[in-house]
Structures are given as structure tokens and as C-alpha cells.
Chain A
């Protein structure tokens, strides 16, 4: 147990140091505020200030999503390029645990997006957006960053495999946000698309977060949080499997080696 904690905290600390020296890792935190600004501007301009929480929910979920898909998913690819993969793999610590801690740090940094969006609403538009259920909002955000980390564990393994798969990286965010109802609730999607949405963790996250901004009693909280965590753990386990396969293949084919 002590060694597990040491591996996780060591890897998390290493990721924080890497990110501190590479501001590119924080790209989503610089780009996403502008998404919040546009969505808020659109709703305010349309006189729909009762819906401004839609903009906040979209901004924070997209920031977490971008941190997972565009930053955390690059880790294995970068480690292969910089030949640090060989060093980590040859250490006695399980590679998937090292990666898990690193992706979790990055997706958790996406939570800063919530603060940014809230500040934009307050400072740029003078809007005070009440959070009626702060506990629910906090739990949902934490569960979402865990689910995003699970997904990133899978995608970081897949994206390291080849350029065609990296094309997939550019493609998935749009459909995931749309199907997950990140900006617009899925009830506005065509009926035939809606059954797919519950398989996307963003769907549950967006619903719970919007409920946290509504005065009414939120419904099916445990079910929603459970679904987010279940989808996150499920993809995380698939990621562990994909990583093991990738490393086995690299070992067998002599693909690991320092030059």
C-alpha cells in the first residue's frame, strides 16, 4: 500500500513539474474561457439569462474534456518520442499506475475551467449564477475528472499506435460533446440519436451539473454519479488492457530501446 501511494504521488508530482515547464499543457485553460464568453454572450444577448448556467456547464466540461483528449492523451506518444517510455517501463512500478496518476493530474487541472467560467460570468457580464446544490456540483466535477482520466488512459494508449488513430483524436471531441449534451441538453437532439447518449459520461455530468444550478431537488443523483464513475472505470480498465498489449508487442518486436 505504501509503495502504491509512493508511485501515485511520485508520478503526480512528476506530472506537475512537467506541466510547470511546459505551458502548452495548459492550452485548454487559455482557450476555453473564450467558449464561455461566446456562450454567455449569446444567452445574454438573447435575453435568456435564466439559461446562463448552460454556458458554464459547457465551458467546464469542455475544459476537462480537452485536458483529457488533447493533453493527457499525448503522454505515451511523447514518451515514445523522447525515449522516456523505456526508462519508465524498465522501472519496477506498474506503468498503468504511473500513467493513471499523470492523467488524473491533467484532467483535474481542467477543473480550473469552472472557476474561469464563473469569473467570466461575474466580471464580464456582472452575472451572479447561484449554485443551489454546491455539493452535487463538486462531486460531479470530481467524478467527471476521474472519468476523463479513465478515458484518457485508453486514448493515450491508442493514440501512440499510429497516425490514423491520432486522426481519431481530432474527431471524437465534437461528437462526444454533442451526444453528451454538453452545450445543449440531449432532448434537443434527433430522437434516434438520444439512446446513444447515456453511454457517454458527459451526458450524466452535464445533467447533474445543470441540476446543481437549478433550485429544484436534483433527481437520480446516485445513479448519475455511479454512471459517470462506471463509464470512467470501464474505459480505464480497457486502457490498462490496451497498454499491456502495446508494451507486450513492443517488447516482443524489440520496439523498446534507447539509442
Chain B
């Protein structure tokens, strides 16, 4: 109960963070303009290639991947308490720091969900895309799972970066580009070498994206559920790893005196 209250307070702080970046107007005409124009450019490459199937592959991949790319911002948000000077206060508070961090950072998970949804609708309208599969109404659920598993991955990244926060933007850029490059967004995972495929299997996005594609194309339900389950498992793995790392680093900071009010 206490943890829930702390999470809620963290979410209020996260909402303020979000509003520091975006108002409704700037989210629509700034953020979404950037995301959707970028996605349109990739989908148009399908038209250059001259294949409708390729165009639809790019459309689905780039629309859904816009969500995890946005949710990944949570790794940066994890380090912000260090800049605000509130990290030591959170450490000495008589409750776990984790619900506070998760509350504050989870706003980027919601941003991911909204970003993917709006991008998908915009691209579908712009290119006249109509999914053939009867499982299409379930795709928002898959998008939620993909954004959540990426968010858990971001928590792990944020925990690792909390003592090296000057690397946070670089890490965000590289991790985001890596996920978009190899997780089946524009090119099937099977195209890349076996060692990349093995690595991608442990990362968020690729399984969920596969599930969404199967549902949209009307493929076998069993395959979709299996891929979704794998995405959930990968997400759960990163959550456990993220919480463990956070706990260890914060306790380590308490032990070696590196947390101080300045």
C-alpha cells in the first residue's frame, strides 16, 4: 500500500518532467511531427523498392517501434534525481527507492504507448493500410507489452547509468538505434548473422513485433501467443535484472559514501 502511494507520488513528479518537455501542442506538432515524418520516410523507402508487402512491413515495424523508442527515455529519467539533488533524499527516506523511481519514470512508458498508437493510425491513414487479420484489435495490447518490456530494459540501463550519468544520452542513442536496427523493425531478424539473432532474442521489441505482425496478417494464433509470451518473459527478465541492479547500486552508494548532499 505504502509502495503504491510512493509510486503515485513519483508519477506526479514524472508528469511534471513530461510537461517540462511537452505541452499538448508541442507534443502534437513537435514530438509527433518528428516521429511520424521519420516513420513516413522509412515507409516510403518501401515504395522506392516497389513492393507493397515491403511497404506494409515497414509501416507496421516503424509505427510500433516508435513506442519502445519513446519508452526508452525512461533510462534517462532514472538519472534525473541525481541532477535535481533529490537522490540523497530518496535514499534516506524510510521506504524503498524503487517505487519512487518507477513512478517517476513510468510516464515515458505511457508516452511510448501514445506515440505508437498515434503513429500507427497516422501511417495507416496516410498509406491506406488495412490489416487483414482478425486479431488486429488485439494489437494495442501487444504494443503495451512491447513498450512495457522496453521500459523494464530502460530501468536496467538507467540503474547502470546512475553513477555514470554523463553517458546517458549516448547510451540512449545507441540502445535506441540498436533496437530499431536489429529487432525486426525494417529488416527481418533472420537477415542478420546468427550471433545478432541470439542477442536480439534476449532484447525487448523483436518478439512482440513478431506477435503484432502475425495478428495483423491473420497468421496462426498459436504463433502470435508464443511470441507475445516470449516478449513478456524477456520484459520480466529485464525487470528483475533492473530492480536487482538498482538495489545493489543504491546500497553500494550508501556503503561507500558516494551519496551526499551538495
Contact = CB atoms under 8 A, between A and B. Distances in A.
Interface of A: 23-24, 27, 30-31, 34-35, 37-39, 41-43, 45-46, 48, 51, 54, 163-164, 167-168, 170-175, 177-178, 182-185, 188-189
Contacts of B20: 163
Nearest to B44: A184
Given A24-B170, A41-B186, A45-B188, 4 more contacts: A34-B174, A170-B31, A174-B41, A175-B34
Interface of B: 20-22, 26, 29-31, 33-38, 40-42, 44-45, 47-49, 51, 54, 58, 166, 169-170, 173-174, 177-178, 180-181, 185-188, 191-192
Given A45-B188, A46-B51, A23 B21 contact: no
Contacts of A171: 26, 29-31, 33-34
A38 B187 contact: yes
8 contacts: A34-B180, A35-B177, A41-B181, A43-B49, A46-B49, A54-B45, A54-B48, A177-B37
A183 B43 CA distance: 10
Q: Is the interface of A mostly helix, strand, loop or mixed?
A: helix
A34 B181 contact: yes
Given A46-B49, A184-B48, A167 B26 contact: yes
Contact of A177 (B41, B166, B178): B41
A35 B170 CA distance: 15
Contacts of B49: 42-43, 46, 48, 51
6 smallest CB-CB distances across A and B, nearest first, come from A174-B37, A171-B30, A174-B34, A34-B177, A184-B44, A167-B26
Contacts of B26: 164, 167, 171
B173 A174 contact: no
Q: Is the interface of B mostly helix, strand, loop or mixed?
A: helix
A168 B30 contact: yes
Contacts of A177: 37-38, 41
A38 B186 contact: yes
Contacts of A188: 44, 47-48
Contacts of B166: 24
A178 B41 contact: yes
Contacts of A23: 170
B181 A170 contact: no
A38 B185 CA distance: 9
B146 to A, nearest CB: 18
Contacts of A167: 21-22, 26, 30-31
B41 A184 contact: yes
A149 B211 CA distance: 44
B170 A27 contact: yes
Contacts of B34: 170-175
Contacts of A164: 26
Contact of A174 (B36, B45, B169, B186): B36
A170 B178 CA distance: 20
B177 A174 contact: no
A184 B37 contact: no
Nearest to A175: B37
A34 B178 contact: yes
A174 B177 CA distance: 15
A174 B48 contact: no
Contact of A41 (B30, B54, B191): B191
Contacts of B178: 34
Nearest to B58: A42
B44 A31 contact: no
B33 A31 contact: no
A24 B22 contact: no
